[in-house]
Structures are given as C-alpha cells and as structure tokens.
C-alpha cells in the first residue's frame, strides 16, 4: 500500500494545486490514479470512490469521464499494447527486413512496458480480463502476439521449432514481472538484453550481442 496516497480531505475542493500530473486533463489524472491504485493495491480492492479521492474530485465527476471501473481498466490495458501494435504496423508498412524489424519491435515494446508510469501489465493476469469489457484489449494483444509470430517466422531459419513467436512474445512480456520483482531494473540495459535474446531465440545472428 505504500506509495498510494488517497486524499480524503480533497473531495470537492478546487483541484488547482492538487494535480498529480501538472499538464494533464482530469481524464488523464483519473487514469493515472487508477493505474497506481490497481497496480499497487489491487483491482478488486480499488473502488471508483477511492480513485476519485486520489485525484481530488467527486465520484460524480469521475462518472462523467468513465461509465465504470471496467472502462478505466480496459483503457489502461489497451494503452500497454496499442503503441507497440501501431509501431509493428509502421515497420510492416516500411517493409523493414524481418530480423531488424523483430529487434526494433522488441526494443520498442519493452520500452513501453518498462517506462509507463505504473506497471499496468501486471493486471493482465486478472480473471476479470477474460470478460466482455476487455474483449477489445484481448483482441489487440492477440494482434500484437500475431505480429511477433509473423516477424519471427520470417526471421527464423526454416528448420526452427514451433512456438517461436509465442516464446518471443512471452519473453518480451516477462519484463512486466521483472519490473515488479527486481530491486532495480536498469531500463536501457534490460531493453537491449531482451532484444538481443529475442534474436538468439529465433536463431537469427544478431549484429553484436
């Protein structure tokens, strides 16, 4: 629970001076507060009331922006995969050579997962994520997995074994657990280590480890 600072006294007072993110909209502040509470206190244990208190707004104001708690979580989860999905599309559009594209996507994706303000990916494991409000998130994450499969199949030698794309996707997402478990995770070194390991998994000779 440390690091979670609900502000019970803030309910209803003017928001100026209480902002979590200086240049953010109320909507962005709600997402940020929810991400912190969900990741550190847990999704089930976090109410929309608690989120509103952490932002310093009334619960009614929160409901102006989001219909319910599921919508907030869905938007947070989608934000963990959409940038990498867009980047994969860009790489495909540019017709980048498969080994280079796979390396670039892994670097980018790990960067997204490690540098987000809160480690929202930890919430992938919630049983709620299997339900309807998260169908779009699941579809987008499936598309990202598929992008890894396509690049991996193109980058690997013909005799490579099965599951390569899934193993690469799993390795990339494993930084979510490392970010939680390791005392310090030096972002840049870890990014490079993961991307290099991805190339070794597919058996593509990396230019320099």
Tell me whether residue 13 or residue 49 sits nearer to a second copy (CB atom).
49
Whichever of 26 and 167 has its CB closer to a second copy, that residue is 167
Q: Where are the beta strands (DSSP E) in the chain?
A: none
Can you tell me the distance from the alpha carbon of 84 to that of 100, in angstroms, rounded to the nearest whole number?
A: 15
As measured in angstroms, the least distance from the Cβ of 44 to a second copy is 4
Q: State in angstroms the smallest separation of the CB of 119 from a second copy.
A: 10
Nearer to a second copy, 123 or 147 (CB): 123
Shortest gap between Cβ of 196 and a second copy (angstroms)?
Answer: 6
Return the number of the residue (3 or 12) whose C-beta is nearest a second copy: 3
Burial class (CB in 10 A: 0-12, 13-18, 19+), 132: exposed
| Residue number, 57 or 148, with CB nearest to a second copy | 148
109-120 CB burial, b ≥16 within 10 A, e <16:
bbbbbbebebbb
Task: Please state the closest distance from residue 166 (CB atom) to a second copy, in A.
Answer: 6
Residues shown for the chain: 209
CB contact at 8 A, 57 and 13? no
DSSP-derived secondary structure letter, 127:
G
Q: How far is the CB of 171 from a second copy (least distance, A)?
A: 5
| CA separation for the pair 116, 66 (Å, rounded) | 21
Q: How far is the CB of 155 from a second copy (least distance, A)?
A: 13
Q: Specify the residue, 44 or 207, whose C-beta has the smaller distance to a second copy.
A: 44
Distance CA 16, CA 131 (A): 37
The residue among 93, 94, 101, 107 whose CA lies nearest residue 171 is: 107
Site residues for a second copy per CB under 8 A: 39-42, 44-45, 122-128, 145, 159-164, 166-167, 170-171, 173-175, 177-178, 180-182, 189-190, 192-194, 196-197, 200-201, 203, 209
């Amino acid at each position: 629970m440390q690091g979670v600072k609900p502000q019970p006294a803030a309910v209803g007072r003017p928001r100026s001076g209480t902002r979590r993110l200086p240049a953010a909209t109320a909507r962005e502040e709600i997402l940020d507060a929810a991400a912190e509470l969900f990741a550190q206190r847990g999704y089930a244990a976090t109410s929309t009331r608690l989120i509103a208190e952490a932002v310093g707004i009334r619960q009614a104001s929160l409901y102006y922006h989001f219909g319910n708690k599921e919508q907030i979580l869905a938007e947070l989860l989608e934000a963990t995969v959409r940038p990498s999905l867009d980047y994969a599309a860009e790489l495909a559009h540019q017709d980048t050579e498969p080994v280079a594209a796979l390396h670039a996507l892994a670097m980018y994706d790990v960067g997204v997962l490690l540098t987000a303000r809160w480690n929202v990916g930890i919430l992938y494991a919630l049983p709620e994520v299997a339900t309807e409000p998260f169908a779009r998130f699941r579809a987008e994450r499936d598309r990202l997995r598929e992008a890894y499969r396509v690049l991996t199949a193109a980058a690997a030698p013909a005799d490579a074994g099965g599951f390569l794309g899934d193993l690469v996707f799993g390795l990339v997402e494993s930084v979510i657990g490392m970010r939680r478990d390791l005392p310090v995770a030096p972002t840049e070194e870890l990014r490079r280590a993961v991307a290099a390991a991805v190339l070794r998994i597919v058996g593509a000779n990396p230019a320099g480890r």
